[in-house]
Protein backbone atom coordinates (compact mmCIF):
# COMPACT_ATOMS: atom_id res chain seq x y z
CA UNK A 1 0.00 0.00 0.00
CA UNK A 2 1.48 3.35 -1.03
CA UNK A 3 1.17 6.18 1.47
CA UNK A 4 1.12 9.90 0.83
CA UNK A 5 1.44 12.64 3.43
CA UNK A 6 0.20 16.20 3.02
CA UNK A 7 1.65 18.57 5.62
CA UNK A 8 -0.54 21.61 6.21
CA UNK A 9 1.81 24.31 7.49
CA UNK A 10 -0.07 26.49 10.01
CA UNK A 11 0.58 30.10 10.91
CA UNK A 12 -0.54 31.94 7.79
CA UNK A 13 3.01 31.97 6.42
CA UNK A 14 3.68 31.79 2.69
CA UNK A 15 6.30 29.51 1.14
CA UNK A 16 9.46 31.50 0.43
CA UNK A 17 12.60 30.97 -1.66
CA UNK A 18 14.60 29.75 1.34
CA UNK A 19 12.30 26.76 1.97
CA UNK A 20 14.07 23.57 0.88
CA UNK A 21 11.39 20.93 0.39
CA UNK A 22 13.80 18.00 0.18
CA UNK A 23 15.46 18.98 3.47
CA UNK A 24 12.06 19.46 5.13
CA UNK A 25 10.90 16.00 4.01
CA UNK A 26 14.06 14.37 5.38
CA UNK A 27 13.61 16.20 8.69
CA UNK A 28 10.03 14.97 9.13
CA UNK A 29 11.01 11.35 9.58
CA UNK A 30 7.63 10.04 8.42
CA UNK A 31 7.40 6.84 6.37
CA UNK A 32 5.73 7.90 3.12
CA UNK A 33 6.07 7.32 -0.59
CA UNK A 34 5.20 10.97 -1.33
CA UNK A 35 5.11 14.13 0.76
CA UNK A 36 3.58 17.50 -0.17
CA UNK A 37 3.43 20.79 1.73
CA UNK A 38 0.49 23.20 1.77
CA UNK A 39 1.17 26.58 3.39
CA UNK A 40 -1.84 28.26 5.01
CA UNK A 41 -0.55 31.63 3.75
CA UNK A 42 -0.74 30.56 0.09
CA UNK A 43 -3.89 31.41 -1.82
CA UNK A 44 -3.17 29.21 -4.88
CA UNK A 45 -2.43 25.93 -3.12
CA UNK A 46 -4.79 23.63 -1.25
CA UNK A 47 -5.13 20.19 0.31
CA UNK A 48 -7.75 19.02 -2.22
CA UNK A 49 -5.36 19.48 -5.15
CA UNK A 50 -2.58 17.49 -3.46
CA UNK A 51 -5.05 14.77 -2.43
CA UNK A 52 -6.19 14.45 -6.06
CA UNK A 53 -2.58 14.46 -7.32
CA UNK A 54 -1.50 11.75 -4.87
CA UNK A 55 -4.56 9.64 -5.70
CA UNK A 56 -3.71 10.01 -9.38
CA UNK A 57 -0.15 8.85 -8.66
CA UNK A 58 -1.32 5.66 -6.93
CA UNK A 59 -1.32 6.54 -3.24
CA UNK A 60 -3.96 4.36 -1.60
CA UNK A 61 -3.61 5.93 1.86
CA UNK A 62 -3.28 9.69 2.23
CA UNK A 63 -2.78 11.39 5.57
CA UNK A 64 -2.92 15.10 6.28
CA UNK A 65 -0.72 16.30 9.16
CA UNK A 66 -0.53 19.76 10.70
CA UNK A 67 2.88 21.34 11.16
CA UNK A 68 4.60 24.58 12.10
CA UNK A 69 7.47 26.12 10.15
CA UNK A 70 10.86 26.38 11.83
CA UNK A 71 12.67 28.66 9.35
CA UNK A 72 14.17 28.20 6.94
CA UNK A 73 13.20 24.57 6.15
CA UNK A 74 12.27 22.77 9.33
CA UNK A 75 8.74 21.55 9.98
CA UNK A 76 7.60 20.57 13.48
CA UNK A 77 4.55 18.30 13.36
CA UNK A 78 1.84 19.17 15.87
CA UNK A 79 0.55 15.61 16.26
CA UNK A 80 -2.79 16.30 14.58
CA UNK A 81 -3.60 14.16 11.59
CA UNK A 82 -6.50 13.14 9.38
CA UNK A 83 -6.71 10.18 7.03
CA UNK A 84 -8.05 11.57 3.75
CA UNK A 85 -8.27 8.40 1.72
CA UNK A 86 -8.24 4.70 2.34
CA UNK A 87 -9.07 1.58 0.37
Predicted local distance difference test score (pLDDT) of residue 62: 93
What does pTM read for this prediction? 0.88
Predicted local distance difference test score (pLDDT) of residue 85: 60
For residue range 18-32, list pLDDT tens digits in order: 889 999 999 999 999
Nearest to 11 by CA among 45, 42, 46, 36: 42
Is residue 16 over pLDDT 60?
yes
- Please state, in angstroms and rounded to a whole number, the distance separating the CA atoms of residues 2 and 18: 30
Residue by residue, DSSP assigns 43-80 as SS--HHHHHHHHHHTT-SEEEEEEEEEETTTEEEEEEE
Hey, where are the domains in the chain? 3-86
Is residue 33 over pLDDT 70?
yes
Predicted local distance difference test score (pLDDT) of residue 68: 94
Amino acid sequence: MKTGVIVYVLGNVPRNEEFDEKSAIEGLGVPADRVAFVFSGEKNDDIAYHWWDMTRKGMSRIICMAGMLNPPSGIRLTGRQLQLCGF
